[in-house]
Amino acid sequence: MIDVYTGCEDGVRELQIMRWCHDELGDQSSPRHGRIGRWHRGSVTLYGWTWFGFATEADMQLFQATWPTPPGIAHPDAARQ
């Protein structure tokens, strides 16, 4: 599971991420509803960050290579260090 910068203003980045996940990894997992998949988006976005979980390390690494955090964006926890 990783924190992903999905943005918070217009929702464009988040929509692009969700479309990419669906196109590359298939339907979103929802074990609660009997749907097993390779990825799942968390239900809360805080300061533009949302957690995403992946079935495999390889899927997570593919995602991270495709959707790195944009330059100049810092995770909110970075300010605490």
pLDDT given at position 81: 58
Residue 8 pLDDT grade (very low, low, confident, very high; cuts 50, 70, 90): confident
pLDDT surpasses 90 at 78: no
For the chain, what percent of residues have pLDDT higher than 90?
84
pLDDT digits (tens, 9 = 90+) for 32-77: 899 999 999 999 999 999 999 999 999 999 999 999 999 999 998 8
Rounded Cα gap, residues 31 and 46, in angstroms: 24
Cα–Cα distance list, 23 to 18, 26, 38, 63, 78 (Å) = 9, 6, 12, 12, 32
* Domain assignments of the chain as residue spans, ordered by start: 2-80
pLDDT surpasses 80 at 80: no
SS3 14: helix
- The single-letter code of the amino acid at 59 is D
